[in-house]
Amino acid sequence: MLFHIPGIFSPAEVAQIRQALEQAEWVDGKVTAGYQSAKAKHNLQLPEDSPLARDISESMLQRLWLNPLFMSAALPHKVFPPLFNCYTAGGSFDFHIDNAIRQVRNSPERVRTDLSATLFFTEPDEYDGGELVIQDTFGTQRIKLPAGDLLLYPATSLHKVEAVTRGARLASFFWTQSLVREDSQRSLLFEMDQAIQSLTRDVPEHPALIQLTGNYHNLLRRWAEV
């Protein structure tokens, strides 16, 4: 499933982050690409050890762990520290599938990439091209989200970023290792959780709530890997 999670950052916060990113020193985006992906990747990236990257990354992670929609959809176990890229002057990233395992820089920790995510820092009308194109069992999707919004999607998906022919596309990208590896199982749990929340809001005394909530946690207990 694809999840559009709005408002990770407010417009004022996006403006502040963009100002800092536009003044940053960027490097070739191939530095974090695998062998095959490097052939297809043509963009710029903020160095992983950049103080600016660390500051924005920490702020993002704090918000993600407090975001109910992200928590329900991703069921996160580990989140790879967010990275930052810039596409401009024809920059693109051809079709690829993300590496299955990512090694956290200067750390023995590894993250299995169950879910990929892109957080946009540029409004869609500020650049031409730059669509995130995702192919999976749900068909082909072409996506440009408002600045401050996040797209979450299965890392098993074949995807690309179209060439940016005007302006610049600034974004963050990262991966999540979920408590539940299988996308179909996560989707079922998400739909159950949303139903529980709706019932809790609309008919909080309904007796089925106890059974439905119990079934949710029993499925999570069955499928979770910790």
Give 48's contacts (C-beta < 8 A, 6+ positions apart): 32, 81, 83, 105
How far apart are the C-alpha atoms of 125 and 37, rounded to whole Å? 28
Binding annotation for 2-oxoglutarate: 169
Binding annotation for Fe cation: 96, 98, 159
User: How many Cα atoms within 13 Å fall on the side-chain side of residue 180?
Assistant: 23
DSSP 204: T
Q: At what angle do helices 11-22 and 51-65 cross, to 10 degrees?
A: 160
Binding annotation: 96, 98, 159, 169
Alpha-carbon separation of residue 215 from 70, 211, 221 (angstroms): 21, 6, 10
For residue 161, give the amino acid letter: V
Give 30's contacts (C-beta < 8 A, 6+ positions apart): 38, 41
Q: At what angle do helices 208-223 and 183-202 cross, to 10 degrees?
A: 160
